Structure 1
Amino acid sequence: MSDTPDLQDLPDIDPDADINEPRLWRSVGWTARVIKNDDDEGWAVAMIKDGEAEPALIGPWTMGRNKKDPKPLDVNAFNTLVKTASEVLRRHEQQLHAQLHKSVMVSTDTAEFEVTLDIVPDEDDPYAMLTARDGDGEQLAQVRVAPNFKLTRATASTWIENDFRKPNQ
């Protein structure tokens, strides 16, 4: 396993205090932990955001000069790891947002509409909200639909043509 103790196993340490050790570094809301890579003879580093149970990033870590022990963490390496792990989380959030939020523009003879679909991934009762807004951004209609409703220009146009009545699903 790892030669570094678990954070919970460290007695009398302020959980908010910075730690700057060769294999454990904590600062600015992140913890970097150098761990033995079980897949090979090398080392890995896990980046954990404060308050999260799982690492945001796990990647290979450089061997030290003796080709046996890991290279110690330092401020530059830690800052680079924080930047990389933050970017991974940001991309994950963007991907999740894109999966849960869709938008199309529909033009009719009389007006232009933005129709959005916002999925609410509730564990017990997932659903989506279909919303129409006019060119000024004013909400014209909103209905609850199934979370698997397919928002396309065609389905949005049909909804508008049917005076915003709940679509058949």
Structure 2
Amino acid sequence: MKTILSLFASMVLAAVGASAGVLVSFDNPSLTGSPGQTLIFTATLFNNGASTVFLNSDSLNLAGNSFTVTDQFFTTVPISLNAGMSVTGIELFDVHLNSPFTDPFGPYLGSYALLGGADGNAQDPLGQASFTVTAAAPATTPEPASAVLFATVVGALLARRLKVRPTRAPAGKT
């Protein structure tokens, strides 16, 4: 019985050790933007497993309704990643803050999961990371002070009134 338990424990440990894993590390996991802006999320992907893994797809979730997310997975992520290899500066997705922004301003949490495995059809979870999008109110342009505005208008009217008019010759004399 002891031999069977030892054999079973060895198989479990071997399976755990053989599982592929990819560390997903955002270059900046927390970005801030205002309505009309697009935020670009880039990351480093590191295969900490003992064998090559295929990167087949991803899954992305972001709370809130005022965002348009563009997944860049199929245009920027490599097909596979060899054991011990990493790629940096990979653009995973973009988040556009819609204008008008109908959600309350503030932070919104999101999660990113990388899927793949031993072949091009695998959809096993390989790695995941969390991120935050903070929606900030757009900067407003201050209106000029009332006194300055009033002085400008009065000055323009006086300048027009005092403008030198061309003199006309009296009627009948040329």
Q: TM-score, normalised by structure 1?
A: 0.29
Higher Rg: 2
The structure whose residues are more often strand, as a share, is 2
Higher RCO (C-alpha under 8 Å, 6+ residues apart): 2
Q: TM-score, normalised by structure 2?
A: 0.29
